[in-house]
Each structure stands twice: as structure tokens, then as C-alpha cells.
């Protein structure tokens, strides 16, 4: 609420809450309401106080401090470490969104495989101690966010590092770095991005091998976070070449800025033969036109609701 209203009147409450820990939403709210300085200090504190590095203890590999956990003293060791990694991901995300190059030194280490592997080990050790499954996807998410945040905070200075990631990373890292590079005007990853534009991403061997994890979602989330003219142009070209059920993960900013372009496409797909595509199109249409009243049901075949679809299409054309 404080982020949406951006009212300085919220600052006393936000500052008080921040004393017990500042997650992504608290950092965003503080900055939006007028205390970007405190938000920045807390973001740096999140990074510096969470990690116990070799610099802190030369004889030890990296570990996670849970003393300042957002869930202090709650749950298992694995849960507390997991929460701390999520806190780091939110903090890195916030740092990138500021566009402040001073944060690059805090963000960049999380793009490095050495740091990522150390965090995976720390999380896996905590899981073993707690008798839980060693799920480490939180670390992968932190790494993905860091790649994108590096582009936003570092700008052109991040291109060299992003190229390294694109050349040597796994497919999730390559998708994130490809979009990051493209947002900065670099054409290194044009071939991979073109596959997404043409809905041919599964032709990539790495993507085909792990397509149980929808890489199109990674593509859309990268575009949403980077939110540049160049990444928006990529989304537009993809949607011009077709609409699929996995194209419904569009940001509010993109929907609002391109409603007149999107509405005819969505309206056309209300009668698509695939129920999942109909649902995705209707879901996005409702996000753009939340006040529209209709008895359209994407679960029903289009031939049963022709008049309803025609009315919705006309409403979409009217904007």
C-alpha cells in the first residue's frame, strides 16, 4: 500500500518496521515514500550482515547468518537459511531497480558461479541438518535476479560480465544475460532472442532438454524486470508472431503502455481452439479492462458463446 500511495506519512511506521528487517517490499516502500537513503543503507546491511564470507573467517567457506533473519528463530535451520537467501534476492532486485551504479559491487558477486555454488552448499548443509530435501532453487533465483539487476545498476559497464555469463552459463543464466545484454543495446544474444520472438525457443537444445521448466517464463520475467524500450520491442514482436498460454506473464507497466496493441490480439484469441490459450487471453484482457462485465467462460468451447465473444471483441476494440 505504501509503495502504491508513496506518501511520506507512512515513513514513521516504515522506519519502525525496518528495525526488525527490511525485505524487498519494505525497501521499495521506504524509497517510494521519500527515504531512499535509509532504504539503501538497509539494503547494503542485508547483504553484509547475511553472509559470513572467507574475508570474515578465512578458514571457513561461505555460510549464512540467520541472526537477522526475517523469520528469526522460527522453523528449521533450512527454513531460516532459505528465508535469508530469499531476502538477499529481494535486496538485489531492489538494488538493481534503483539504477545506482554504486550497488554493482554488492550485486556482481551473486552472478559468479563460485558464490552461487557456495550458497547452494550452505543451503544443502542446512537441509541435511534439518532432515529436509536439499532444494536449492532459491539460490538459482538469486543468481537470475542478480544477472538482471547487474544490467540495470551497471548499465554499459556490465556488458563485459554479462557476455561472460552468456558464453559460459547454463540455459537459465543465458536467457537472463541475453535479455540483459539486449536491454543495453548489445547484439551478442540476438540468435537466442529471435527464437523466443518466433516461438521457436524449444529448438534450442538446452531448452528442449529441460522444457519441463518453462523457459518462456524466464524470458517474460526478464523482460518485465528490465522493462526497457528494447525488451518491450522484443515482447511486441513475439506477440505479433502469435499468442500462447505462456505469454500471459506480462507486467502491469507493459499492459498499460501497450493496451491498444494488445487488446485486439487478446480478443482474437478468445475463440482459440486451445482452452489454455483462451484462458490466458481472457486473463490479460481482464487485467487491462478490469471493469468489463461478461459471462464469457474460457473453459467452454468458443462455438457455444459466439455472441459473448463478439461483444467482448467490440469492447476490446473500443478500448
Give the model confidence (pLDDT) of 236-278 as tens digits. Answer: 999 999 999 989 889 999 999 999 999 999 999 999 999 999 9
By percentage, how much of the chain surpasses pLDDT 70? 89
Q: Which of 64, 96, 61, 98 is nearest to 79 (CA)?
A: 64
Domain ranges of the chain: 2-257, 258-319
End-to-end alpha carbon distance in the chain: 28
pLDDT at 299 over 50: yes
Q: How far apart are CA 91 and CA 75, in angstroms?
A: 22
DSSP-assigned letter for residue 289: S
pTM of the model: 0.88
* C-alpha cell, 190: 540476438
pLDDT at 130 over 90: no
Q: How confident is the model at residue 215 (pLDDT cuts 50, 70, 90)?
A: confident
Q: How many CA atoms lie within 13 Å of 32's alpha carbon, on the beta-carbon side?
A: 17
Confidence (pLDDT) at 6: 66
Confidence (pLDDT) at 63: 52
Q: How confident is the model at residue 61 (pLDDT cuts 50, 70, 90)?
A: very low
pLDDT at 141 over 50: yes
Q: How far apart are CA 314 and CA 319, in angstroms?
A: 9
By percentage, how much of the chain surpasses pLDDT 90? 64
Q: How confident is the model at residue 317 (pLDDT cuts 50, 70, 90)?
A: confident
* C-alpha cell, 85: 537467501
Amino acid at each position: 500500500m505504501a509503495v502504491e500511495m508513496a506518501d511520506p506519512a507512512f515513513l514513521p511506521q516504515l522506519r519502525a518496521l525496518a528495525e526488525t528487517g527490511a525485505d524487498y517490499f519494505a525497501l521499495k516502500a521506504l524509497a517510494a515514500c521519500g527515504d531512499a537513503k535509509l532504504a539503501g543503507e538497509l539494503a547494503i546491511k542485508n547483504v553484509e550482515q547475511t553472509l559470513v564470507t572467507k574475508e570474515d573467517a578465512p578458514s571457513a567457506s561461505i555460510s549464512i547468518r540467520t541472526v537477522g533473519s526475517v523469520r528469526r528463530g522460527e522453523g528449521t535451520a533450512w527454513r531460516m537459511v532459505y528465508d535469508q537467501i530469499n531476502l538477499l534476492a529481494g535486496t538485489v532486485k531492489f538494488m538493481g531497480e534503483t539504477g545506482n551504479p554504486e550497488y554493482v559491487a554488492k550485486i556482481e558477486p551473486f552472478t559468479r558461479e563460485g558464490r552461487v555454488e557456495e550458497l547452494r552448499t550452505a543451503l544443502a548443509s542446512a537441509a541435511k541438518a534439518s532432515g529436509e530435501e536439499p532444494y536449492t532453487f532459491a539460490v538459482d533465483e538469486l543468481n537470475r535476479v542478480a544477472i538482471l539487476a547487474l544490467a540495470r545498476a551497471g548499465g554499459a559497464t556490465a556488458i563485459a560480465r554479462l557476455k561472460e555469463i552468456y558464453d559460459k552459463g547454463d540455459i537459465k543464466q543465458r536467457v537472463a544475460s541475453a535479455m540483459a545484454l539486449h536491454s543495453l543495446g548489445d547484439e551478442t544474444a540476438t540468435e537466442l532472442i529471435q527464437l523466443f520472438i518466433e516461438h521457436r525457443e524449444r529448438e534450442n537444445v538446452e531448452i528442449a532438454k529441460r522444457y519441463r521448466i518453462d523457459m518462456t517464463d524466464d524470458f517474460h520475467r526478464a523482460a518485465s524486470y528490465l522493462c526497457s524500450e528494447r525488451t518491450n520491442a522484443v515482447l511486441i514482436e513475439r506477440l505479433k508472431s502469435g499468442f500462447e498460454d505462456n505469454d500471459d506473464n506480462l507486467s502491469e507497466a507493459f499492459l498499460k503502455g501497450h493496451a491498444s496493441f494488445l487488446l485486439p490480439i487478446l480478443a482474437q484469441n478468445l475463440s482459440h481452439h486451445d482452452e489454455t490459450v483462451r484462458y490466458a487471453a481472457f486473463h490479460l484482457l481482464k487485467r487491462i479492462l478490469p471493469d468489463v462485465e461478461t459471462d464469457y467462460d474460457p473453459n467452454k468451447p468458443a462455438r457455444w458463446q459466439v455472441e459473448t465473444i463478439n461483444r467482448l471483441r467490440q469492447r476490446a476494440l473500443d478500448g
